[in-house]
Structure 1
Amino acid sequence: MGTPFTRRDFVKLTTAGMLGVLAANHASAAQRSATRSPQSPSVRPFPKGFLWGTATAAYQIEGAWAEDAKGPSIWDTYAHTPGKIKNNENADVANDHYHRYQEDVQLMKALGAKAYRFSIAWPRIYPEGTGPANPKGLDFYNRLVDELLTHGIQPYATLYHWDLPQALQDKGGWQNRDTAKAFGDYAGYMAEKLSDRITHFFTINEFHSFVDMGHRGLEMAVGGKTVSIELAPGMKLSPAELNQVRHHAVLAHGLAVNAIRAKGKKGTKCGPAENITIPVPLIESPEHIQAAERATREMNAGYLTVMLEGQYLDAYLNAAGKDAPKVTADDLKIIGTPVDFVGINVYRPSIYVLASDNAPGYREIPFNASHPKMLSSWHVLGPEAMYWAPRFVHSLWKAKEIYITENGCAADDTLAEDGQVYDTDRVMFLRNCLTQLQRATADGVPVRGYFLWSMMDNFEWSAGYGNRFGLIYVDFKTQKRTPKLSASFFREVSVRNALA
């Protein structure tokens, strides 16, 4: 048996010598895994071929915000508006990934990641949102994809992670139906240019976040306090206007699916990546599980339900009343175009549920003020969400392929005196979540892969740089990258394809 791959070994890796050391230790970890009995209660295996990856978003890491003919996005505008971002920070440079992508791919390789979910900046491809494509923008993603494949990492592309071209916002943004059409055209172009090497495209990331928090703001009760969250473009729309934006977003998804099918290579797959609302049964007995499943369908009516069923639920339309969106039968046919997979971002339970004899058949149980939470004020601790979210997506909509497109936690990571980052809170969080995910796969839920958020610390939207989600610590002044304790944990799980 080889010498175990320790955290100290990991952090000693340099970019230049990383691949050789990685290969030796990869074999060592695989050998250790082989010596353990599959029947051992201490080993919880994932299905053969399970995909382990990390995830990022363009605006949060790329920097180079005005280089190579890239147009401004709504996030460039929002972050440059005083008072919108904590400490008035912005992502003009962020992680400088645009210039350091080769180093970052080496780090992914060292993490044992087999896949990388990244987003493409729409204004880097179409500076005006439509019109002539920018070849320099496409060149960057061609280089990135080739670099990933060279190192055995499968690229999974997200076409929209909130950075709408400002030129389209100036024409009404997501309130304008033409934005949905422009997104479909952009999606088709990217599939045409990249599907020879990218087999999986996520259309839009977190509809609920960029629609609700970007166009009205969101207030949630956390620990007995009300927390307000706002994202770009920071609008305050009426309920009717918000519902129409919501409709245009899911229409854009449907148009993108059709465009990818039309322009992509044979076998190209696509689907959404939604931060699904997750009701969790407070008691695991049949009536409460059934109630939570019903609640999942109804609480996701405006996004995932309509995308996977091609219809708005009567309860959703009745609740909206006069504020219901303007919809055509053709719209619903487009929105409900069958997808190849469903991506879900899972961080926390949205609510706990008990069955009820009264309509709608379930009762919501709020979080107690003392409910444990992670660093982010919104992030209550509830790893069981990782079991119930994919299970209900499968049972409700018969999804044949499910990906956990985001899961992770923010921590107040600091460098210790020895230069390392001992993020034991993140390791604890991941171990608990992955235990629940393994339970789901063992129960036959078809989860095909897991993308940890995030590969490295980055610009965390309105929170600026204070909330660190990464496996890799980033000094934003020097751009030095330092693997954390959680990096070696992730690597061991990935190499073994099991929790041990």
Structure 2
Amino acid sequence: MKLEFPDDFTWGASSSSYQVEGAWDADGKGLSIWDIFVERENTIWRGQHGRVACDHYHQFKEDVALMAQMGIAAYGFSISWPRVMPDGTGRLNEAGLSFYEALVDELLAHGIEPWVTLFHWDLPYELFLRGGWLNRSIPGWFADYTKVIVDRLSDRVSHWITMKDPQCFIGLGYHSGRHAPGHKLGMRDALLAGHHALLAHGRSVQAIREYAKLPPMVGWSPSCSVYRPATDSMDDVNAAREATSAVYPKALWNTRWWSDPVILGGYPEEGLRVYGNAVPKVPEADFGVMKQPIDFYGCNIFQAPPVQMGKDLQPVASELEPGEAISTYGWTQNPNCLYWGPRFIYDMYKLPLVITENGCSTLDRVSLDGGVHDSNRVDFMVGNLLCLQRAMSEGVDVRGYFHWSLTDNFEWQEGYRQRYGLIHVDYTTQVRTLKDSAYCYKEIIGSNGQSLQRHVHSENQPVPFVVKEAMRYIESSISEVFNVKTIAAHLNCHPDFLSRRFKQHTGVSLSAHIRSVRVGHARHLLHNPNVLIGDVADLCGFSDRIHFSKVFKKEMGITPGQYQKRFQDDPGEEMHPAIEIAQNPRSV
């Protein structure tokens, strides 16, 4: 299977303001509902909070440099409404606006496209005191806030997302009480709050299109409630399609109640029937405001539970297969979520899709060798992207993929228990460490998806002998000076034949693979702060120190000497197993 993605496919990573920024009361920022919610007892795991989180507010330059090192082309981040408008309306906080301007400028300086989300759950506390999403004035407040951000950033930003996950900030915040502001309202009030959120989306789209200085690309990004068939039977496929399209009583977790008004201009008939008298009585004109033209549908997809067709021809939940992989969050890691999910959503709405969030939480730690070996995340990412490419090959129009998340972060009510990042964060020292998944993602991006091929194994497509032997030769002869011609001579084949077969199977060139292996070995050796750079060059098969330094800097973004300085002797110990940073000193 050819695994190339379109040349203009967007490869990105995502974050959200409250989860990463910290600086909760710095430089004139107002309170958000999450700043208050974390003060309640027994709401967040171990009483944790996001007051510092990843300190992205102060360390964004280091984080952007790490993105550039990975080859990330786009960064999806959200604006903290109370950071730029402390009261939610009225006066502006210049320091907050300047922070986002500086972040956008830093991204653009590194060739990274900013994708701005206007709301990712951190509502200004002052607006909560005025009723929050229950107040019919909030769509107007949100439109005014949108205009402020668009006025300030749209000369440099062209990609906009109005809001993320209304199912979460309404369903979990206003109905179940698990998220801020912690309301446990009945279905009638929760649906009214949701209606106001959809109105706010529409008003926001209108403001973006009216005031944007660059031609805008506008989308929205709900949680996609998607299901997969338990088997390949057509009955189970139909059951999964019906389950993905369904609206369930006494629950807000679905796709169509939230998306039909935005795209089709009205609530789905099944939802009106299921919710009955709880459906808010609203002016018909509201739906004209909600239904604004959008350029893409953002899909936040993390899992797809299996379903099967029941005896009454209705979808029923299917048990997970014994031993099926699950994340530390307890979610199934079956990669088909990124095949069936986009396929069903695209069939519903026929809009271009962008995977705005996709990832998994795993038990990550810095190992004694200084690396973070998150093989489960690597498998999750590769499997999901293979399934996404399958959906695209069958006609599903997907324009981009954003991994969730760029860094480990504050995971809402889970605190810091869940780690989703490509970058490991030590929350005490704020040291960043690229995980194995970050290097894997770099390879995927650099090859535009072709490197996924090396992870495809089947009895019908065994690894070609010359590819397998080339890899073995590189690993066993890493300290020797060799190149593609040397390996080809060893295998008694033509260099062009070897290079072609290697790239066909792995998706990357043989010369790029040799560089990657050499630099990876060098990184390991440089964990020793006493080893000489020249010795590392020799041990990694480079012809001289100057050539080694050039290759290392091109691959890593910093020189071998700068990299080695991250590893210092621990007083009183002969050698401290230091933590890998692989990046410039953080900016404060």
Under a length normalisation based on structure 1, what TM-score does the superposition of the two structures give?
A: 0.85
Aligned mates of 2:321, 2:230 — CA distance in 1:
16
Structure 2 unaligned segments of length 5 or more: list them. Answer: 248-254, 454-588
Checking the alignment, whether the CA contact within 8 Å between 1:371 and 1:381 is kept in structure 2 is: no
Q: Which residue of 1 aligns with 2:159?
A: 200
Alignment-derived partner of residue 328 in structure 2: 376
Task: State the alpha-carbon separation in 1 of the partners of residues 184 and 302 from structure 2.
Answer: 26
- Is 1:138 aligned to residue 97 of structure 2? yes
Partner of 2:350: 398
**Equivalent position of 1:242 in the other structure:** 190
For residues 281 and 307 of structure 1, the distance between their equivalents in structure 2, rounded to whole angstroms, comes to 27
Correspondence for 1:278: 226
The total of aligned residue pairs comes to 444
Contact 2:239 2:307 in 1 (8 A): no
- Is the CA contact (8 Å cut-off) linking 1:280 and 1:292 kept in structure 2? yes
1:493 aligns to 2:444 (yes or no) = yes
What SS does the corresponding residue of 2:98 show, helix, strand or coil? Answer: helix
Q: 1:279 and 1:467 mapped to 2: Cα distance? A: 23
Compute the displacement of 1:256 (Å): 0.8
CA distance in 2, matches of 1:473, 1:266: 35
Deviation sequence 1:305-326 (CA, Å, 0-9, x none): 2211111112211211111122
- 3-state SS of 1:236 partner: coil
Match of 1:341 among 296, 299, 307: 296
Partner of residue 49, structure 1:
8
Question: What's the % identity of the aligned pairs?
Answer: 40
Q: Deviations over 1:21-44 (max 9, x none)?
A: xxxxxxxxxxxxxxxxxxxx4x52
How far 1:129 moved relative to its partner? 0.6
Query: How far 1:351 moved relative to its partner?
Result: 4.7
Tell me by how many angstroms 1:297 deviates: 3.0
Once the 2 structures are TM-superposed, how far is the Cα of residue 371 of structure 1 from its aligned partner?
6.3
Counterpart amino acid of 1:307?
A: V
Equivalent of residue 212 in structure 2, options 241, 251, 264: 264
Could you tell me which residue of structure 2 aligns to residue 407 of structure 1?
Answer: 358
Moved more, 261-270 or 205-214: 261-270
SS in 2 for 1:277: coil
**C-alpha displacement of 1:257:** 0.9
Listed one character per residue, the Cα deviations across residues 147-169 of structure 1 (whole Å, up to 9, x for unaligned) are: 00000000001100000000001
CA distance in 2, matches of 1:307, 1:351: 27
**Cα RMSD, aligned residues only:** 1.7
Distance in 2 between the 1:309 and 1:477 partners?
A: 48
Mapped pair 1:389 → 2:341 = yes
Q: Does 1:318 align with 2:273?
A: yes
Q: CA deviation at 1:327?
A: 2.1
Instruction: Name the CA distance, whole Å, in 1 between partners of 2:360 and 2:281.
Output: 38
Q: Deviations over 1:360-380 (max 9, x none)?
A: xx4122334846343333412
Once the two structures are TM-superposed, the CA of residue 192 in structure 1 deviates from its matched residue by 2.2
- Structure with more relative contact order (C-alpha pairs < 8 Å, separation 6 or more): 1
Change (3 A) 1:298 1:337: farther
Contact 1:246 1:302 in 2 (8 A): no
Larger radius of gyration: 2
> 2:492 matched to which residue of 1?
none
Q: Distance in 2 between matches of 1:273 and 1:432?
A: 22
Superposed CA deviations along residues 319-371 of structure 1, whole A, max 9, x for unmatched, are 1111112222111111111211100101001452438765xxx4122334846
1:72 is aligned to 2:31: yes
| Other structure's SS at 1:160 match | coil
The 8 Å contact of residues 287 and 355 in structure 1, kept in 2 or not, is answered as no
Aligned mate of 2:200, from 247, 252, 256:
252
More off after superposition, 76-85 vs 48-57: 76-85
Please tell me the residue identity of whatever aligns with 2:169. F
Identify the residue that residue 506 of structure 2 maps to in structure 1. none
Q: Secondary structure at the match of 2:116?
A: strand
Match of 1:429 among 350, 375, 380: 380
Q: Which runs of 5+ in 1 are unaligned?
A: 1-40, 219-229
SS in 2 for 1:64: coil
Alignment partner of 1:363 out of 299, 302, 315: 315
Match status 1:127 vs 2:86: yes
Residue 177 of structure 1: SS of its match in structure 2? coil
Match of 2:418 in 1: 467
